[in-house]
Structure 1
Amino acid sequence: MFHDPFGDFMFSFGPIFIGIIFIIVIGTFLFALTNGLKEWRRNEQSPQLSVPAIVKTKRTNVSRHTHHHDSHHSHSTSTTYYATFEFESGDRLELKLTGAEYGQLAEGDYGILTFQGTRYLGFKRSV
């Protein structure tokens, strides 16, 4: 009878390896969820402020995603929009915006920025 030490190793190590990958995936998900909840809570506890500000810069971050389903591959992209606002004190704050909000701002716009923690609530341009 032939004894395959490699086969024995794979049968004993395979379930352990799959378990480790499962723990890493679940751990990453829980870490992201916890961080998101912490930020949401911080924002909820922060005061809502409306202060004069200038739109200093705008930027986008485009992410490409590959999806595998059976033998088909599809690609999609998502865009995250950001604007940096500068206050009269010289301090700056970068906030995430929706595409519609981003499209209504231009660098150099001056107005009243309303925000709560890291949450953008609006910008009313002064004329």
Structure 2
Amino acid sequence: MFNFFPIIFGIIFFLIIGVFVVVIVKGLTQWNKNNNSPVLTVEAKVVAKRADVSHHTHHNTDSTGMHHTSSSTTYYVTFQVESGDRMELHVPNSEYGMLVEGDEGRLTFQGTRFKGFERAY
């Protein structure tokens, strides 16, 4: 009888490795593209804000057998530029809290990297 376990295991193993390679290559490609993009400053308006919360469970290997959970939040702001195009950028917590939908000013970015926003008063 032919044993399918080694074949299935090998396929799953290479699929998982393939996913990791694709994610790493995409990340490095975006990083390189951002580094080679010019730093631009344009007139823009804050049109939306959102926060993405991720929950994590950590298991302890000590004798208590307890685990704890933690969470992390990633902040995004959607800006609309003069041409009407919109872009969503990841922003640091300190900037996210200072921005309000409807704010207008000068957005500075490099590729997909948020560099700053100077509100027009």
TM range (shorter): 0.7 to 0.9
Asked if 1:54 is matched to 2:48, the reply is no
Please report the TM-score for the alignment, with normalisation by the length of structure 1.
Answer: 0.79
> Within 2, Cα distance between the matches of 1:44 and 1:121?
13
- The 5 Å alignment of 1:12-23 reads 19-23=10-14
> Within 1, Cα distance between the matches of 2:20 and 2:69?
22
1:62 partner amino acid: V
> Within 2, Cα distance between the matches of 1:15 and 1:22?
10
- Structure ID, larger Rg: 1
Which structure 2 segments of 5+ residues have no match? none
What residue is the counterpart of 2:35 in the other structure?
44
> Within 1, Cα distance between the matches of 2:23 and 2:58?
21
> Within 1, Cα distance between the matches of 2:66 and 2:17?
26
Q: Structure 1 or 2: larger helix share?
A: 1
Asked if 1:109 is matched to 2:103, the reply is yes
Which structure 1 segments of 5+ residues have no match? none
Match of 2:87 among 90, 93, 103: 93
Aligned CA distance change for structure 1 residues 53 and 78 (closer, same or farther; 3 Å): same
What residue is the counterpart of 1:78 in the other structure?
72
* Superposition deviation, residue 56 in structure 1: 0.7
Match of 1:27 among 18, 33, 56: 18
Task: Tell me the matched-pair count.
Answer: 118
After superposing on structure 2, the runs of 4+ consecutive aligned residues of structure 1 that deviate more than 4 Å are 12-22
| Per-residue deviation, residues 40-96 of structure 1 (Å, max 9, x unmatched) | 111112121100001111110111112233333221111110000011221111100
2:111 partner amino acid: G
